[in-house]
Structure 1
Amino acid sequence: MSDTTPGTEAANGSRLRCNGCGTEAIVTRAGGSALTCCGAALEVIFAGS
């Protein structure tokens, strides 16, 4: 079963942003789970490789 939660498709090098507070994160080791902030999954703003 695959997880379709926003942010789970982030690969290494992806840049994510919280739409609530503007915090950004860069994925250095993809693990298949969504990063969250302010109670919501982070949005992928740049897909890594």
Structure 2
Amino acid sequence: MVRVRRLGGAPNSRTVAACAYVCAATVLVLPTVALAVPWLTELHRLFSAL
């Protein structure tokens, strides 16, 4: 019964949901950028030397 009441209860606030989405996107984007920028910089230097 407790679970049924919890599932049927009020949803989380939009602020909490928005924060969760922003945090999830940050976890995905920051490491990608941290790896991609140095790699792309070195790739650009390599091709500009030709």
Shorter-chain TM band = under 0.3
Return the structure number with greater helix share.
Answer: 2
Taking structure 2 as the reference length, the TM-score comes to 0.16
Higher relative contact order (CA 8 A, sep 6+): 1
Q: Which has the higher strand share?
A: 1
Q: TM-score, normalised by structure 1?
A: 0.16
